[in-house]
Amino acid sequence: MIRQAHAEINLFKCIIELCRTFTTVKVIEKYGNYVRVRVDRLDKSIGSVFGQVEGFKGQYDVSEYSVSQTTLE
């Protein structure tokens, strides 16, 4: 129970960090320890977005993540 609460807190801290960087952060789906968000990256490169999320690994105990651009398909 405590481990799950800790994971939830870290998840929301990651979202808060994203909100500090991006003007729009939408939670698309969330279940368990999984969350999918969409951000408007504006003038940021995909590499800078990746770098920010990579920094979450140690800081917020993130074990897996992916970063991708939206396609037109």
Q: Is residue 28 part of a domain?
A: yes
Specify the number of domains making up the chain: 1
> Is the pLDDT reported for residue 72 higher than 80?
no
Q: What pLDDT, on a 0 to 100 scale, did the predictor assign at position 16?
A: 92
User: Which pLDDT tens digit goes with each residue over 47-66?
Assistant: 888 888 899 888 988 888 88
pTM of the model: 0.79
Top pLDDT among 71 and 35 is at: 35
Q: Is residue 70 part of a domain?
A: no
Q: Is residue 69 part of a domain?
A: no
Q: Is residue 67 part of a domain?
A: no
What DSSP line would sit under 6-71, residue for residue?
HHHHHHHHHHHHHHHH-S-EEEEEEETTEEEEEE--TT--HHHHHHHHHHHHHHHT-------PPP
Mean pLDDT, rounded, for 16-33: 88
The parent domain of residue 56 ranges over 2-60
Q: What pLDDT, on a 0 to 100 scale, did the predictor assign at position 2?
A: 82
